[in-house]
Amino acid sequence: MNQRWRLLALWLLPIGVVLLIGWQVVSNGGMNGLSQDSNGTTVAPRNAAVARMSYGRFLDYVEAGRVTAVDIYDGGRNAVIEAVDPDLDNRVQRLRVDLPGLAPELINTLKTEGISFDIHPPRTAPPALGVLGNLAFPLLLIGALIFLARRNSNMPGGPGQAMQFGKSKARFMMEAETGVMFDDVAGVTEAKQELQEVVTFLKQPERFTSVGAQIPRGLLLVGPPGTGKTLLAKAIAGEAGVPFFSLSGSEFVEMFVGVGASRVRDLFKKAKENSPCLIFIDEIDAVGRQRGAGIGGGNDEREQTLNQLLTEMDGFEGNSGIIIIAATNRPDVLDSALMRPGRFDRQVTVDAPDIKGRLAILDVHCRNKKLENELSLESIARRTPGFTGADLANLMNEAAILTARRRKEAIGLSEIDDAVDRIIAGMEGRPLTDGRSKRLIAYHEVGHALIGTLVKDHDPVQKVTLVPRGQAQGLTWFSPDEEQTLVTRAQLKARIMGALGGRAAEDVVFGHQEVTTGAGGDIQQVASMARNMVTRLGMSDLGPVALEGGNQEVFLGRDLMSRSEVSESISQQIDIQVRNMVKRCYEETVEIVAANREAMDRLVELLIEKETMNGDEFKAIVAEFTAVPEKDRTVVILD
- Which domains are seen in the chain, by residue range? 30-119 (3.30.720.210), 171-349 (3.40.50.300), 355-424 (1.10.8.60), 435-549+563-623 (1.20.58.760)
Selected catalytic residue, list 312, 398, 445, 506: 445
Supply φ then ψ for residue 520, to 5 degrees: -60, -50
Which residues, listed in sequence order, are joined to residue 281 by a DSSP beta bridge? 247, 326
- pLDDT value of residue 636: 30
Side chain identity, residue 434? D
pLDDT confidence of residue 633: 44
| pLDDT tens string 182-216 | 877 888 888 888 888 888 887 787 888 888 887 77
Which is more confidently placed, 55 or 403?
403
pTM of the entire structure?
Answer: 0.66
Where residue 158 falls (left for φ over 0; alpha for ψ -120 to 50; beta otherwise) is: beta
CA atoms within 13 A on the CB side of 483: 11
Angle between helical axes of 2-27 and 127-151 (0-180°, round to 10):
160
pLDDT at 529 over 50: yes
For residue 270, name the pLDDT band (cuts at 50, 70, 90): confident
Give the burial string for 76-96 (b: 16+ CB within 10 Å, else e).
Answer: eebbbbbbbeeeeeeeebbbb
Q: Band the pLDDT of 329: cuts 50, 70, 90.
A: confident
* Residues 534-547: tens digit of each pLDDT: 998 888 888 888 88
Give the residue, 477 or 560, on which the prediction is more confident: 477
Query: Would you list the DSSP string of 518-532?
Result: GGHHHHHHHHHHHHH
The per-residue pLDDT for range 415-458, each reduced to its tens digit, is 988 888 888 887 777 777 777 888 899 999 999 999 999 998 88
- Model confidence at 493, pLDDT cuts 50, 70, 90, reads very high
Is 378 a residue of the active site?
Answer: no
Amino acid of residue 60: D
What gap in Å lies between CA 327 and CA 222, rounded to an integer?
6
Between 382 and 146, where is the model more confident? 382
pLDDT category at 71 given cuts 50, 70, 90 is confident
